[in-house]
Amino acid sequence: MLNFRSDTNWSRFIWVLVAAVFAADLLLPQQFDIVFVYLLAHFLAIFFREKSDVLLLAVITTALTVIGAVLKPQDRPLEQMLLERLPAILSFWAAAFFVIRFITMRELEGQQEEKFKALFQFATSGILLTNQQGIIVMSNPATEQLFGYQEGELLGKRVEILIPTRLGQRHTAHREQFHRHPSPRSMGIGLDLKGLRKDGSEFPVEVSLSPFKTPEGSFVVAFVVDNTIRKNFENSILQQREELAGLSEALRALNEGLEQKVTERTAQLEAAKNDLAAALDKERELGELKSRFVSMASHEFRTPLTSILSSAGLASQYADRQDFQNVKKHAGRIQNAVNGLNTILTEFLSLGRLEEGYVMVKLEQVQLAECVAEVHEGLKNLFKPGQTFEHLHTGEETVQLDGGLLKNILINLISNAIKYSPEGAPIVVKTLVHEKTTRVSVIDRGMGIPEADQKHLFDRFFRASNAINNTQGTGLGLYIVQRYAEMMGGTVGFESTLEEGSVFWVEFVHD
């Protein structure tokens, strides 16, 4: 596993890179706009140890970008130069946000590792981890001490090395049968199981087996307890039973107490196994989220930024020719691209606030018609040519909800309807207030959602297969809608038919 840590050399390199970009920005001619190179420093900020260093980097690069615009020779208004650099500044803060999230997840991951390491290293019972072929892949110090081996000496060897030779072949057959029908079980209670030390001596043991699976294959955790004391005690009891018949009940009670301790120890070790499996699952989930984010961000940020750079260059050429119609057209493209970037950043920030528990529900009396009208007014510039909007309301005019969260839900659902519907298509919002329920529905006649994708539609970073190459998006909107609805005690659902359209609804139950 990679262990990212900041050090003096990396910090010096990042700040030298920032200084070099600033110098180049001042020295290069006007047409060479290299401020986006600051993003490289932000990506390298994953090597910083402190989140405050990442924020400092974002503040400094923002300031240097503005200073560069002020100090460069002015062949056009300063306001225009600052506006052209606004996407770069937004990208700096977006990168800083995700680097901070990455550092936070790295810290949490480190804490999980330390807990598991302490549990594994300092357990008083032997713990072995073997693969399906019976090869030992992990062993704790208690196991090595129990069997008389040096640290790491057991790794890569077959588990039969710890079993007397006369029992090794039979154990191999038992192991293969166990892998065919794996289940947690205890061995040694009432049986004469032996362990083999490195020096050739044998000793009685108790073993508990717990199978589990990971993407790397099937594994078995074996918890080994030295049973010498217990076996000696049982033998002593058997030898004295005829002479001490009157004490049989007391001895039975003592034996039951020992059995209970073994059961409790087995339960503790089972819990340790569960913690191990949970840690492995958590690590795999973090890896998947990192991969999804890198893949999505590389595409969703590159496309609008490329469009902005291209349109800015063309607008400059058309301005020289006084072709203001084309200048206006490309200015509109730049505005749309910036709006897209703003939407992406808003969804990322909303996700961050949700994950960190900063979003609180504030119930109030909400005028549904006014709420829908305000959202419609704010989204007018996103409508495609010929698209129409209609709001149909039934029932009471007001309902007790969180107005801010409801607006965010409507913004996500209506903007999706606009984005995935063709030109000239109608978009309808229906609000229905009953005595016990309130339902808000958004209906479109867009591309619809493939049936195979529908079960994953509310997952983080998931996008339907027919939308990935056609429109921009982060795959976070519906996840955020579901979280907001659940925070207000509501549920989310949808119906969709490919090439015919979709209906998304949010329903709230009144007390």
Residue 456 domain-assigned (yes or no)? yes
68 and 100 in a single domain? The answer is: yes
CATH number for the domain including 461? 3.30.565.10
Q: What is the mean pLDDT of residues 366-381?
A: 91
Residue 203 domain-assigned (yes or no)? yes
* 68-91 b/e (C-beta count within 10 Å ≥ 16 → b): bbeebeeeeeeeebeebbebbbbb
Burial class (CB in 10 A: 0-12, 13-18, 19+), 298: exposed
Q: C-alpha angle 372/378/379, rounded to 5°?
A: 90
Rg (CA), the chain: 33
pLDDT at 507: 95
The domain total for the chain is: 3
Residue 143 domain-assigned (yes or no)? yes
Helix, strand, coil percent values for the chain (each to nearest 5): 60, 15, 25
Please, what is the average pLDDT of the chain? 75
Q: What is the mean pLDDT of residues 472-478?
A: 72
pLDDT at 327: 66
pLDDT at 339: 54
Task: Give yes or no for residue 289 having a pLDDT over 60.
Answer: no
Which range has the worst mean pLDDT, 295-299, 325-329, 412-416, 468-472?
Answer: 295-299
Residue 75 domain-assigned (yes or no)? yes
Q: Among residues of the chain, what percentage have pLDDT more than 70?
A: 68
Q: What are the pLDDT digits (tens) for 414-472?
A: 988 998 899 999 999 999 999 889 999 999 998 888 988 888 888 877 777 777 555 66
Task: Give yes or no for residue 329 having a pLDDT over 60.
Answer: yes
83 and 151 in a single domain? The answer is: no
Q: Among residues of the chain, what percentage have pLDDT more than 90?
A: 15
Give the residue numbers spanning the domain of 473: 364-509
291 and 398 in a single domain? The answer is: no
Residue 348 domain-assigned (yes or no)? yes
Of 191-205, 274-288, 419-433, give the range with the top mean pLDDT.
419-433
Q: What is the mean pLDDT of residues 312-332?
A: 69
How far is it, in rounded angstroms, from Cα 157 to Cα 38? Answer: 51
Residue 224 domain-assigned (yes or no)? yes
Residue 470 domain-assigned (yes or no)? yes
Single pTM value for the model:
0.40
Residue 2 domain-assigned (yes or no)? no
Q: Which of 240, 271, 305 is the last residue of a domain?
A: 240
139 and 160 in a single domain? The answer is: yes
Task: Give yes or no for residue 282 having a pLDDT over 90.
Answer: no
239 versus 421: the higher-pLDDT residue is 421
pLDDT at 52: 81
106 and 164 in a single domain? The answer is: no
pLDDT at 198: 82
pLDDT at 39: 75
Q: Which of 240, 275, 304 is the last residue of a domain?
A: 240
Q: C-alpha angle 88/376/94, rounded to 5°?
A: 20
Q: What is the mean pLDDT of residues 25-35?
A: 72
Task: Give yes or no for residue 298 having a pLDDT over 50.
Answer: no
300 and 403 in a single domain? The answer is: no
How far is it, in rounded angstroms, from Cα 184 to Cα 221? Answer: 9
pLDDT at 265: 74
40 and 54 in a single domain? The answer is: yes
Residue 389 host element (H or E): strand 388-394
Q: Which of 210, 240, 270 is the last residue of a domain?
A: 240
Task: Give yes or no for residue 374 having a pLDDT over 80.
Answer: yes
Task: Give yes or no for residue 173 having a pLDDT over 70.
Answer: no
102 and 136 in a single domain? The answer is: no
Q: What is the mean pLDDT of residues 479-488?
A: 87
351 and 411 in a single domain? The answer is: no
Which range has the worst mean pLDDT, 132-136, 388-392, 409-413, 504-508?
Answer: 132-136
Angular region, 481: left φ>0, alpha ψ -120 to 50, beta rest: alpha
How far is it, in rounded angstroms, from Cα 477 to Cα 459? Answer: 10
pLDDT at 440: 95
130 and 200 in a single domain? The answer is: yes
pLDDT at 406: 92
Q: What are the pLDDT digits (tens) for 116-165?
A: 565 566 667 778 778 877 788 888 888 888 788 888 888 888 877 777 87
CATH number for the domain including 210? 3.30.450.20
Task: Enumerate residues 6+ apart whose C-beta is below 8 A from 457.
Answer: 449, 464, 478, 494
482 and 375 in a single domain? The answer is: yes
112 and 131 in a single domain? The answer is: no
